[in-house]
């Protein structure tokens, strides 16, 4: 078996793939809203409707996701870079302070201004390397008009109008 490439080269290679930016939101065991920025969203299946998202096992939101409850993938729009940065990195207890959101029928936070909200039930979880691949069964959602916030080569990007 060939040796793995180093993590810097791996990041450089994947940095050339533009991805959409999402914020995963859920409720923790005490019912408080929690969330984190992620860009590893992928469609898995149309029937049943499944998506996947990968979360570092060191991330605070990992514990909430591992509990197997429902969650939302909020697809961010241009102009939400600040929100993306706020939800990136270490979890802060004040992360939702001053952040506009509505509550779904499942009592989940739906971030204001997002292009779409994809509501999911946990379908499966698989530990892979230093992350867990969570598979969500899509049970609802909403969309709006706008352009997506993208991540490309280590920075935020926008689609040209």
Q: How many CB atoms sit inside 10 A of residue 4's CB?
A: 8
Residue with tokens 């080269």: 9
Asked whether residue 161 carries a pLDDT value surpassing 70, the answer given is no
pLDDT at residue 75 in the model: 97
Cα 153 to Cα 75: distance, rounded to the nearest angstrom? 19
CA-closest candidate to residue 111, choices 33, 30, 53? 33
For the segment 56-79, the average pLDDT, to the nearest whole number, is 95
138 bridge partner residues: 120
**Contact call for residues 106 and 90 (beta carbons, < 8 A):** no
pLDDT band at 158 (very low <50, low <70, confident <90, very high): confident
> Which position has the higher pLDDT, 43 or 8?
43
pLDDT at residue 159 in the model: 78
Q: Where are the alpha helices (DSSP H) in 26-145?
A: 60-66, 81-87
Cα 36 to Cα 28: distance, rounded to the nearest angstrom? 12
pLDDT at residue 10 in the model: 86
**Contact call for residues 20 and 78 (beta carbons, < 8 A):** no
Query: pTM, whole model, 2 decimals?
Result: 0.93
Cα 27 to Cα 34: distance, rounded to the nearest angstrom? 6
Cα 84 to Cα 75: distance, rounded to the nearest angstrom? 10
Instruction: Count how many residues are written for the chain.
Output: 161
For the segment 127-142, the average pLDDT, to the nearest whole number, is 97
| Phi, psi of 133, rounded to the nearest 5 degrees | -90, 110
């Amino acid at each position: 078996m060939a040796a793995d490439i180093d993590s810097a080269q791996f990041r450089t290679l994947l940095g050339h793939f533009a991805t959409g930016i999402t914020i995963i939101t859920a409720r923790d065991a005490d019912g408080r809203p929690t969330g984190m920025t992620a860009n590893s969203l992928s469609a898995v299946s149309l029937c049943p409707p499944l998506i996947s998202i990968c979360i570092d096992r060191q991330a605070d939101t990992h514990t909430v996701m591992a509990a197997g409850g429902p969650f939302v993938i909020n697809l961010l729009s241009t102009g939400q870079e600040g929100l993306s940065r706020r939800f990136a990195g270490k979890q802060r207890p004040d992360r939702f302070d001053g952040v506009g959101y509505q509550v779904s029928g499942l009592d989940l936070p739906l971030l204001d201004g997002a292009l779409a909200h994809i509501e999911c039930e946990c379908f499966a979880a698989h530990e892979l390397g230093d992350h867990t691949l969570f598979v969500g069964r899509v049970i609802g959602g909403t969309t709006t008009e706008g352009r997506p916030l993208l991540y490309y080569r280590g920075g935020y990007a926008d689609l040209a109008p």
